[in-house]
């Protein structure tokens, strides 16, 4: 990278210097042709000066085109040759002017400075030495045919000292500038890397992050916030605006924290807003946290307490219940029972079995085995589930699988997902068969384009849930069936909560009964410890 940077710097310097060289050569030629008659330029040999100026102008034009039109790295020999020609041409024109008053040797300071910035230190000092030798040689050449004062040699020596001073000073300053530039480049690269890392951290955070103006214009939003607010990703040309309830919070211009219901699912979200700057018109930074995670932690504590409680009473309840059930079975085998007594024993056995199922479900729920998430494709898993699953009651049923998702990877516990879908499918088959004689069950996979979350719709042909019961179906012990215990859907919701799955009931566009499972993004879900 440093080599590429040096090449860019060399090209920039040589482009500027080549333009200066061409303007200098053109100015010298014009000054000779159209300058005043008493000009000091070319007084000794005007024809040679004109030829040298013309040749130098052509040379400068060629190098100007080369530096601006052609690309490629510069060789040290090529650059040294250019500066060598500059020294020779200018000193020859100074000689043709026949007097030190022309001031042409002083122009070499620019050439020596450019050489010090583009050539290695030894070669830049060599250019200064050649210029000094050329200046002294010019004075010596004048002594061959005219009388030259000794002060001319002193002037040439002082000019040579100026050459070396310029070469050393420019070399030192150039090295310092290059080091500073390289340091700034490294810092810029480090800042870009840190910015990219921060961007990835923000995007992968489970907490929603939004930076927006007071008018609601969103300047930064991560994937978690887009998923919570149901905001579609926009391209660079489209502007995004926050929901109205967040804009109202921003207009109050105070740091605030509140819980609001937001989005199409009316999720309870804790919003913490703060100003990025001290004044009231600054942008706002909002943190969005789904309260269901806090509810999940509270639920884990509740399940732990319930587990300890049910473990202590399970023995006291199940043993007498087993004795009652066993006694009813023995009594039912007696040949002396009439039909009414046999009916009573059947009622005892049915209700004993029902109580045993309730205790079994409560124990399974209270034990609360931590989920063991795995990454797998949902569609393949559903195909295996549909091939192996059978309802407990013998009903005629059919299962179809639709996959409208390009990326259906989930990160959940396989066994707990099987238990969730088994409970829902069991209810669906029972209600569908009761209404039509044959249950039709359809699993439909899709993906939210805004967040990449996987959606599973479980659709059946049953009557579905009544509108007045939709907010009760996940409550424990709520049931509309005479033989139900009301724990199946409650257990499904608790298992979904443990696996970061959002479950809710809805009607499809065709008014079909549908349970929807929305999985968390496989890269951002964080299951409880």
pLDDT at residue 4 in the model: 55
Task: Give the pLDDT score at 528.
Answer: 37
pLDDT recorded at residue 120: 86
> Of the ranges 336-340, 433-437, 484-488, which is most confident?
433-437
| pLDDT above 70 for 264 | no
DSSP code for 10? H
Q: Residue 287 burial by CB count (10 A; 0-12/13-18/19+): exposed, middle or buried? A: middle
| Dist. CA 108–CA 91, nearest whole Å | 9
Minimum mean pLDDT among 392-401, 418-427, 471-480: which range? 471-480
What percent of the chain lies above the pLDDT cut of 70?
82
Alpha-carbon span 405 to 341, nearest angstrom = 58
pLDDT at 418: 87
Average pLDDT, integer, range 394-409: 84
227 neighbors 263 (Cβ within 8 angstroms)? no
pLDDT given for residue 480 in this prediction: 72
Q: Alpha-carbon distance 102 to 42, whole Å?
A: 9
Residue 443 has pLDDT above 90, yes or no: yes
Determine contact, residues 331/342, Cβ cutoff 8 Å.
Answer: no
Residue range 182-206: average pLDDT? 82
| Single pTM value for the model | 0.44
For residues 108 and 128, is the Cβ–Cβ distance under 8 A? no
**227: number of CA atoms within 13 Å, CB side?**
25
Name which of 395, 312, 386, 324 is nearest 353 in CA terms. Answer: 324
Whose structure tokens read 């409208």?
404
Q: Pick the more confident residue, 443 or 452.
A: 443
Residue 74: which pLDDT band, with cuts at 50, 70 and 90? Answer: confident
Contact 227, 269 (CB under 8 A): no
CB contact set of 2 (below 8 Å; sequence gap of 6+): 182
CA distance 90 to 105: 7
| pLDDT value, residue 526 | 46
Measured at the CA of 51, the angle between CA 45 and CA 53, to 5 degrees, comes to 95
pLDDT tens-digit series, residues 214-226 = 888 888 888 778 7
pLDDT tens for residues 512-526?
899 999 898 777 654
Reported confidence tier of residue 299, pLDDT bands at 50, 70, 90: low
Supply the mean pLDDT for the chain. Answer: 79
What pLDDT, on the 0 to 100 scale, is given for residue 515?
92
What is the structure's pLDDT at 499? 85
* 334-374 per-position pLDDT tens digit: 777 777 777 888 888 777 776 776 666 566 656 656 778 88
Domains in the chain, ordered, with CATH? 2-187 (no CATH), 204-290 (3.30.450.20), 295-367 (1.10.287), 374-519 (3.30.565.10)
Enclosing H/E stretch for 484: none
Q: Which residue has the higher pLDDT, 479 or 502?
A: 502
State the pairing for strand pair 256-262/240-241.
unpaired
- Given a cut of 80, whether residue 93 has pLDDT beyond it is yes
Mean pLDDT value across residues 257-270 = 71
pLDDT reading at 292 higher than 80? no
**Does the pLDDT of residue 459 top 50, yes or no?**
yes
Question: In the predicted model, is pLDDT for residue 477 greater than 80?
Answer: no
Residue 85: φ, ψ to 5°: -65, -40
pLDDT for position 253: 61
Torsion of CA 323, 324, 326, 329, to 10 degrees: 170
H or E element, residue 510: none
Q: Which two tokens stand for residue 189?
A: 């690269």
Phi-psi region of 86 (alpha: psi -120 to 50; beta: other; left: phi over 0): alpha
Average pLDDT over residues 408-436: 87
Average pLDDT, integer, range 239-257: 76
* Mean pLDDT score, 113-136: 87
Distance CA 91, CA 69 (A): 29
pLDDT per position as a tens digit, 224-234: 787 777 776 66
Q: Which two tokens stand for residue 475?
A: 């409550």
Distance CA 56, CA 29 (A): 9
Starting at the edge strand found earlier in the chain, the sheet holding 256-262 runs 240-241, 217-221, 208-212, 284-290, 267-275, 256-262
pLDDT digits (tens, 9 = 90+) for 273-282: 888 776 667 7
Is residue 1 scored above 90 in pLDDT? Answer: no
Residue 185 has pLDDT above 70, yes or no: yes
State how far the Cα of 21 lies from the Cα of 286, in Å rounded to an integer.
Answer: 59
For β-strands 454-460 and 513-519, DSSP reports them as antiparallel
**Who contacts 477 (Cβ-Cβ below 8 Å, separation ≥6)?**
485, 486, 487, 490
What pLDDT does residue 514 have? 92
> Any idea how long the chain is?
529
């Amino acid at each position: 990278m440093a080599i590429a940077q040096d090449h860019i710097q060399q090209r920039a310097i040589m482009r500027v210097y080549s333009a200066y060289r061409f303007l200098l050569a053109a100015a010298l030629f014009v000054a000779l042709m159209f300058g005043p008659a008493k000009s000091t330029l070319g007084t000794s040999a005007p024809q040679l000066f004109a030829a040298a100026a013309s040749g130098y102008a052509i040379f400068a034009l060629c190098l100007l085109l080369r530096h601006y039109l052609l690309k490629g790295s510069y060789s040290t020999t090529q650059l040294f040759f250019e500066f060598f020609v500059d020294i020779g041409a200018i000193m020859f024109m100074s000689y043709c002017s026949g007097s030190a008053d022309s001031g042409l040797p002083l122009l070499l300071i620019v050439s020596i400075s450019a050489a010090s910035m583009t050539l290695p230190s030894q070669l830049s000092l060599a250019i200064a030495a050649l210029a000094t030798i050329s200046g002294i040689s010019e004075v010596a050449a004048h002594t061959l045919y005219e009388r030259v004062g000794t002060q001319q040699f002193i002037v040439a020596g002082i000019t040579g000292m100026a050459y070396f001073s310029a070469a050393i000073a420019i070399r030192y300053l150039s090295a310092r500038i290059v080091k500073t530039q390289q340091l700034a480049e490294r810092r810029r690269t480090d800042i870009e890397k840190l910015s990219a890392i921060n961007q990835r951290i923000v995007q992968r955070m489970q907490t929603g992050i939004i930076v927006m103006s007071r008018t609601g214009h969103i300047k930064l939003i991560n994937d978690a916030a887009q998923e919570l607010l149901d905001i579609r990703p926009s391209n660079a040309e489209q502007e995004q605006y926050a929901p109205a309830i967040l804009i109202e919070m921003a207009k109050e211009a105070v740091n605030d924290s509140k819980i609001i219901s937001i989005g199409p699912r009316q999720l309870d979200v804790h919003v913490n807003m703060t100003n990025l700057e001290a004044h009231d018109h600054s942008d706002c930074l909002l943190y969005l946290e789904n309260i269901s995670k806090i509810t999940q932690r509270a639920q884990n504590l509740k399940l732990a307490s319930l587990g300890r409680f049910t473990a202590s009473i399970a023995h006291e309840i199940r043993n007498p219940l087993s004795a009652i059930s066993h006694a009813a079975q023995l009594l039912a085998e007696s040949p002396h029972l009439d039909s009414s007594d046999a009916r009573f024993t059947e009622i005892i056995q049915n209700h004993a079995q029902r109580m045993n199922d309730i205790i079994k479900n409560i124990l399974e729920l209270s034990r609360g085995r931590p989920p063991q998430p795995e990454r797998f494709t949902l569609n393949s898993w559903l195909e295996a589930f549909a091939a192996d699953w059978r309802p407990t009651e013998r009903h005629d049923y059919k299962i179809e699988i639709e996959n409208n998702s390009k990326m259906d990877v989930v990160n959940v516990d396989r066994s707990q997902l099987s238990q969730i879908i088994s409970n829902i499918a069991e209810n669906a088959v029972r209600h569908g068969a009761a209404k039509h004689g044959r249950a039709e069950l359809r699993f439909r996979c899709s993906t939210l384009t805004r967040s990449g979350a996987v959606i599973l719709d479980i659709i059946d042909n049953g009557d579905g849930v009544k509108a007045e019961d939709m907010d009760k179906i996940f409550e424990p012990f709520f049931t509309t069936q005479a033989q139900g215990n009301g724990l199946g859907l409650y257990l499904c919701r608790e298992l979904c909560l443990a696996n970061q799955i959002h479950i809710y009931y809805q009607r499809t566009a065709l008014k079909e009964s549908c349970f929807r499972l929305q999985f968390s993004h496989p890269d951002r879900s964080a299951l409880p410890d």
